[in-house]
A and B are shown apart, each in its own frame.
Chain A
Amino acid sequence: MRVLLQLSVLALMIALGAEAAGAQVAAEARIHPRIPLLDAQGVNVLRSGNPVSPITTCGDCHDTDYITTHTVHGDPGLEALTSPPQAVSSRPWTPPEVEGAEMNCFLCHTPSPANEARLEVMARGEGMWAATATLGNTSIVRWEGDAWRWNPAAFDDEGNVQDTLLALQSPKTQNCAQCHGIAGDEMSRPVVFQGLGPGDWQTLSRGEVISPQRISESGVNLVGKEGLTRSWDVHAERLLECANCHFSVNNPIYRAESRETQPEGLIFDSRRMPLGAYLQRPSHNFAGQSRFTGQTRPAEPLSCESCHDPEPTHRWLPYAQRHMETLTCQVCHTPKLHSVSVESVDWTALNENGEPGVTWRGCAAGCETAATDLVEGVEPTLLLRREADGETRLAPYNLVTSWYWVAGPEGEAVDLELVRRASLGSAAGIEAVEARLREMGVGDPRIKGEIQPYPIHHSVATGDWATRDCQTCHEENSRLARAVHLSDHAPGGVVPHLVETAEAEMIGPVERRPEGQVVYAPRTSEAGLYVLGHDYVRWANALGIFAVLATLLGVAVHGFLRWRAAREGVEGSPEEEGPPVYMYTTYERIWHWLQALAIILLLLTGIEIHVTRMGILDFALAVRVHNVLGFLVLANAIFAAFFHLASGEIQQYLPRPQGFFGQAIRQAQYYLGGIFRGEPHPFEKRPDRKLNPLQQVTYLMILNVLLPLQVVTGILIWGAQRWPAVDGMLGGLTFLAPLHAFGAWMFAAFLLMHVYLTTTGPTPLAHLQAMVVGWEGTETDERTMDPVAEAGTRRGTETASETA
């Protein structure tokens, strides 16, 4: 059987991989019966001296045909890598053949497999001895200078190996860690990054460290280490092993029908595959296997919600559901990897050993050696991923960018040995390498740039260490839109693209910056998101600010002119006031001031939400206060509407059609001219007729257009989490939020105008006082725009010059 194993090419810095195998939770009891070790012909190795064949040995009881065809660990499908469309790795290597290697049960199912010995054997091409070498740490077999020799003392009289020596067990985290990176349940030996090699690809490609220790107690040269009193990974801390989550898909302990297909009302289906049947044919496909080898993945996605219900612990989070529909758990719960990870791999120019140029993320000043350089850590990049429940969410990834030579019409990857020879001494650069490749007979060599996303699922933090600060995302420099540095330069100027088989999408372009760096520039809009505090529609803001500034200017000029007129002694409105009139009832004043105060607070909290740079209030607090006040305004408006309708006060707001325009123009002329000349108001304010025509029109628009618009858009924004379908129909937050913001600017402009115009009474504070105490002095010199008495008739004395 020709099986390609990723670690056999030691020149490679990152190994591809499928995820580790895992069966049941590790038990301490040794229950596996004593077995003989058989060679490929079925003969006991003690007799033949041949290498042990796990397939033949274990195949007596366990259905190895089934196992080897239901796994990604036996054959990761790396044969497919030679053709470009399936070159899913970030290294275009030609996988070597290792003659005779079988799926190696001992690597995962014994407590201390001799992995280095095994790798050496495979590097020599002696695949058939790989499983034997794996037992090299026990006394069952020994390397005696020239060959592996079986140790008869390790076997009993019947030729079975001592079970305490073979010690077959369920895979533990340390078994997985041999290939997958820094993982384990070790508490006493501090985690270090020394000796990171191809066998630590999970750490190298993602920066994941799966250890129960506290980061502050590790041996890593880490910035701020003393303050990092959290564990590297909370699941490892809480006693979980790899196999507890990545269980075999037909493991009867974990295997359960999904809740969607289970009959309603059935809580737990206790029918299980008998243990013996499982042990006979245990699938070695595991829940949560990653997909990016290009294989069809068995339908066994793993979701945090298989075990966790996020609701009870996220009550502190406003719009919790909305967050969870938009982000995967890992976005906030793996906010940072406190380690290094690979950033880019440049295969276009190899050194003498055939090694590519590798750059790293996470070091404070560029990594030479991950072991000792100062590590800052890496913030994962967020890509959009479609999940099993059909939703697309942002999820954290580490992006590894690679460039390599392809040739020929179908763009096959050029053999690395050729590239190595072409690269020798290429201080001259890409052109020289290309020229040499052509000389070597490579047809049409060109550079291909590829970005491989590695999803991040481990190194989970919980509680205080998860992202809790709203302004991580709800801010101008939002994490969701932060540019990600992919590489300092692009070989050949080639801009890389995401691999076709990636299961995630980028939400923005990959660009080259002026100094040559390659950068991924995500944009929230491309993910269909409108992030409060970060996103805004430029023209809506511009128009709104313009309206506010124009109002401010108008008010300032008008006020200045009036002040100047008053200083020059122009006769103002008559100072004698008639007997005070009860203008505003208690309820009117209550509803007015409640509305006023609520709207002012809404504007303040609203600007904090819209532009979190203001820093007046904490974002989460602003959101809460805004929501409460929004509903208050709604309730107040509904009560007020009822009051006005029931009491008939509504009449005050309705302009009389007859003669309306004339009166409106008269009023306008007063404001634009008459007021500076000290003329009296053309319109007498009476309790039964408090609003002049211009006011009537204005309030009509405010109360029937702007206020409902604000309230309705506000409710829909608030309801984005409860009724996402409704929001979607109306254009989503992307439409509603800028509209709401624009309305807010309009309200602000209105507020300025309104407050200013209240100063146009007999005294600047007269109208204000009226709205506070309810009483207002009347003007003795009555000028009335009595619509009933219109058509020339006026009461009181007036001069002809004051007529319209």
Chain B
Amino acid sequence: MSNDSRPSSEAPKTRDGTPGWVFVALVVVAAIFVPLVISLSGEEGPDNDPWAHVEPRPPKTDHTELMPGPYETGPEVTRACLECHEDEGQEVLQTAHWRWEGEPVRLPGREEPVRMGKKNVINNFCIAIQSNWSACSACHVGYGWVDESFDFSQEEQVDCLVCHDHSGQYAKAAGGYPAEGVDLAAAAQSVGPPTRDNCGGCHFRGGGGNAVKHGDLDATLANPRPRVDVHMGTHDLVCVDCHETEDHDMKGRALSVSVTNTNEVECMDCHAAEPHEDTRLNSHVASVACETCHIPQVAIREATKTHWDWAEAGQDLPEDTHEYLKTKGRFEYEQGLVPEYFWFNGRGDRYLMGDTIDPSEPTELNPPLGSLRDPEARIWPFKVHRATQPYDAIHKTLMVPKTVGEGGYWTDFDWDQALRLGARATGLPYSGEFDFTSTVMYWPLSHMVQPVDQALQCRDCHSPEGRMDWQALGYPGDPAQWGSREVERPTTLAGIGGER
């Protein structure tokens, strides 16, 4: 070994001049930690951090100075908003929340594309808005839609407050105007990103009251317990956390008024496609929607309407909002509703105004599309609403009654008059003879997702007492015994959405 007696200033250095001991230290540390890191990593469960996909919420800007008021009318507030938010008015005018109508879509068996939306479809709750606009527009994001002459191009008629008010005292009345006694200035100064109360003000109360329509949306979701809804309860997410919005265009589709699945909200927007540690559970994902196992029941706290018989309306019987009202007829409500299960690929068919029906059979107003053989279809949970509603006995079309206002059924209890006035508004021919027929609507369930320890277990479906009617779904029998359906798996697990 050479006996180097060089002074320390000439201590061996690496090529770039770093002292040798640094090199030694680096090598030692690397030699220890690199093998450790390599051997200790590699135990990963499913890659599953849903929070990574939740957009950060925009901060709430204090509008107290910005919106001094006072304001007399809704449009006055809107004009003030538009002074700063110049583009937002036009943005809203393009949306379905404003137009109550979607883009033209093709429906199976029809040659021409159709534009449909709440503006012009029939449902089996309050039936349709034509001739009843002033009442229905209490849930329109605008002011003044009282008849068919409403001008959809006026951005000052946009109601900013219904979605952005945080004062809690803003309410809308007939025609969409602010209700009597609302302090518009207070509302305007309180604005912020929409909360569950904003959305729920309308969406919890569809069909004429709290919890009536959807089954999975009602006022308990304003402040739910974790066992009622894990997203809105345990994690305090608001609607727009999932229904992401860009330029006021909100993600999300309702099968009652939309038949396509573009721009849809999916579990997989945040959750991994195969999120279970158990491979047997993951093997269900191709045929069973997440919602099926994770929404074992809806209408958990509040009963939802499952039957509505309009034919019984008009009688002077004892009234109860959950049993019978003279204006509306007889109902059935159910709490803790167990869903019904059908194949669904995200798209639907729709009964349109003027279509003929077969009165001897229940008419499906919005049947979900999909089948055992459809690789994009999965088994979904639905709330099914069955009703008996009026139709033209000669023309065999469903009819829209005028219920609200002068001459409406709720005033005069005269079906013939109501149907005639409604026909005038819709333009459908009315023969003068009417009867009642059964209709069915399907409401796919996505809310009231319960915690994991409430999810369905194997025997909840795979047993003689199980929830699934296998033969109705097209299986020869229980797939646990017969084997799963053999379809080509889609290359992307599109589920109810487009490509991810």
Smallest Cβ-Cβ distance to B27: which chain A residue = A590
> In the bound complex, do residue B453 and residue A216 qualify as a contact, i.e. CB atoms below 8 Å apart?
yes
> In the bound complex, do residue B6 and residue A582 qualify as a contact, i.e. CB atoms below 8 Å apart?
yes
Contact of B28 (CB < 8 Å), options: A216, A594, A647, A688:
A594
> In the bound complex, do residue A586 and residue B8 qualify as a contact, i.e. CB atoms below 8 Å apart?
no
Q: Which residues of B contact A632 (CB under 8 A)?
A: 31-32, 35
Contact of A593 (CB < 8 Å), options: B6, B28, B452:
B28
Q: Beta-carbon contacts of A750-773 to B below 8 Å, as 1s and 0s?
A: 000000000000000000000011
Q: Is B474 an interface residue (CB 8 A)?
A: no
- Give the docked Cα–Cα distance between A87 and B366 (Å): 72
Chain B min CB distance to A40 (Å): 36
Q: Is B70 an interface residue (CB 8 A)?
A: no
> In the bound complex, do residue A628 and residue B459 qualify as a contact, i.e. CB atoms below 8 Å apart?
no
Q: Is B460 an interface residue (CB 8 A)?
A: yes
Q: Is A444 an interface residue (CB 8 A)?
A: no
Q: Is B84 an interface residue (CB 8 A)?
A: no
- Give the docked Cα–Cα distance between A463 and B460 (Å): 21
Smallest Cβ-Cβ distance to B39: which chain A residue = A628
Chain B min CB distance to A334 (Å): 19
Q: Is A28 an interface residue (CB 8 A)?
A: yes
> In the bound complex, do residue B460 and residue A586 qualify as a contact, i.e. CB atoms below 8 Å apart?
no
Q: Which residues of A contact B24 (CB under 8 A)?
A: 586, 589-590, 593, 772
Which of the 9-residue segments A144-152, A231-239, A288-296, A660-668 touches chain B? A231-239
Q: A589-B24, A593-B28 given as contacts; is B36 within 8 A of A649 (CB)?
A: no
Chain A min CB distance to B302 (Å): 23
> In the bound complex, do residue A772 and residue B36 qualify as a contact, i.e. CB atoms below 8 Å apart?
no
Q: Which residues of A contact B457 (CB under 8 A)?
A: 187, 212-214, 231, 237
> In the bound complex, do residue B5 and residue A187 qualify as a contact, i.e. CB atoms below 8 Å apart?
no
Contact of A594 (CB < 8 Å), options: B3, B20, B32:
B32
Chain A min CB distance to B461 (Å): 10
Q: Is B182 an interface residue (CB 8 A)?
A: no
Contact of A688 (CB < 8 Å), options: B3, B29, B481:
B3
Q: Is A580 an interface residue (CB 8 A)?
A: yes
Contact of B43 (CB < 8 Å), options: A237, A316, A593:
A316
Q: Is A774 an interface residue (CB 8 A)?
A: yes
Smallest Cβ-Cβ distance to A581: which chain B residue = B5
Q: A594-B32, A632-B31 given as contacts; is B464 within 8 A of A28 (CB)?
A: yes
Chain A min CB distance to B46 (Å): 13
Q: Is B472 an interface residue (CB 8 A)?
A: no
Q: Is A731 an interface residue (CB 8 A)?
A: no
Contact of A212 (CB < 8 Å), options: B3, B6, B458:
B458
Contact of B8 (CB < 8 Å), options: A463, A601, A773:
A773
> In the bound complex, do residue B465 and residue A773 qualify as a contact, i.e. CB atoms below 8 Å apart?
no
Q: Is B19 an interface residue (CB 8 A)?
A: yes
- Give the docked Cα–Cα distance between A33 and B1 (Å): 99
What number of B residues sit within 8 Å (CB to CB) of A? 41
Sorting the interface of chain A by its residue count into under 10, 10 to 19, 20 to 34 or 35 or more gives 35 or more
Chain B min CB distance to A209 (Å): 15
Chain B min CB distance to A714 (Å): 16
Q: Is B56 an interface residue (CB 8 A)?
A: no
> In the bound complex, do residue A773 and residue B459 qualify as a contact, i.e. CB atoms below 8 Å apart?
no
> In the bound complex, do residue A185 and residue B453 qualify as a contact, i.e. CB atoms below 8 Å apart?
no
Q: Which residues of A contact B4 (CB under 8 A)?
A: 581-582, 687
> In the bound complex, do residue A772 and residue B21 qualify as a contact, i.e. CB atoms below 8 Å apart?
yes
Q: Which residues of B contact A589 (CB under 8 A)?
A: 21, 24
Q: Which residues of A contact B12 (CB under 8 A)?
A: 582, 586, 774
Most buried by A among B5, B24, B453, B465: B24
Report whether over half of chain B's contact residues are helix, strand or loop; otherwise say mixed. helix
Q: Which residues of A contact B459 (CB under 8 A)?
A: 185, 187, 212, 237, 239
Chain A min CB distance to B382 (Å): 22
- Give the docked Cα–Cα distance between A786 and B457 (Å): 84
Chain B min CB distance to A278 (Å): 20
Smallest Cβ-Cβ distance to B40: which chain A residue = A624
- In chain A, positions 369-421 with a C-beta closer than 8 Å to chain B are none
Chain B min CB distance to A654 (Å): 15
Chain A min CB distance to B19 (Å): 7
> In the bound complex, do residue A239 and residue B35 qualify as a contact, i.e. CB atoms below 8 Å apart?
no
> In the bound complex, do residue B458 and residue A580 qualify as a contact, i.e. CB atoms below 8 Å apart?
no
Q: Is A656 an interface residue (CB 8 A)?
A: no
Most buried by A among B1, B21, B28: B1
Q: Which residues of A contact B458 (CB under 8 A)?
A: 212, 237-239
Q: Is B234 an interface residue (CB 8 A)?
A: no
> In the bound complex, do residue B1 and residue A774 qualify as a contact, i.e. CB atoms below 8 Å apart?
no
- Give the docked Cα–Cα distance between A631 and B38 (Å): 14
Q: Beta-carbon contacts of B1-15 to A below 8 Å, as 1s and 0s?
A: 111111110011000
Q: Is B463 an interface residue (CB 8 A)?
A: yes
- In chain A, positions 182-216 with a C-beta closer than 8 Å to chain B are 185, 187-188, 212-214, 216
Chain A min CB distance to B1 (Å): 5
- Give the docked Cα–Cα distance between A264 and B5 (Å): 72
Q: A687-B1, A772-B24 given as contacts; is B480 within 8 A of A239 (CB)?
A: yes
Q: Is A432 an interface residue (CB 8 A)?
A: no
Smallest Cβ-Cβ distance to A312: which chain B residue = B279
Q: Which residues of A contact B464 (CB under 8 A)?
A: 28
Q: Which residues of A contact B280 (CB under 8 A)?
A: 238
Q: Beta-carbon contacts of B164-203 to A below 8 Å, as 1s and 0s?
A: 0000000000000000000000000000000000000000
Smallest Cβ-Cβ distance to B37: which chain A residue = A628
- In chain A, positions 558-599 with a C-beta closer than 8 Å to chain B are 579-582, 585-586, 589-590, 593-594, 597-598
> In the bound complex, do residue A774 and residue B11 qualify as a contact, i.e. CB atoms below 8 Å apart?
yes
Q: Beta-carbon contacts of A215-237 to B below 8 Å, as 1s and 0s?
A: 01000000000000101000001
Q: Is A625 an interface residue (CB 8 A)?
A: yes
A sample of 16 cross-chain residue pairs with beta-carbon separation below 8 angstroms, ordered by A number, consists of A185-B463, A214-B453, A229-B453, A239-B463, A593-B28, A597-B29, A601-B32, A632-B31, A636-B31, A647-B1, A687-B1, A687-B3, A772-B21, A773-B19, A773-B20, A774-B20
**Additional 7 contacts, C-beta under 8 A, given A581-B5, A582-B11, A775-B11:** A214-B457, A238-B458, A239-B462, A586-B24, A593-B25, A773-B21, A774-B11
- Residues of B at the A interface (CB closer than 8 Å) are 1-8, 11-12, 19-21, 23-25, 27-29, 31-32, 35-36, 39-40, 43, 277-278, 280, 452-453, 457-460, 462-465, 480-481
- Counting from the closest, the 4 A-B pairs by CB-CB distance are A229-B453, A582-B4, A593-B28, A773-B21
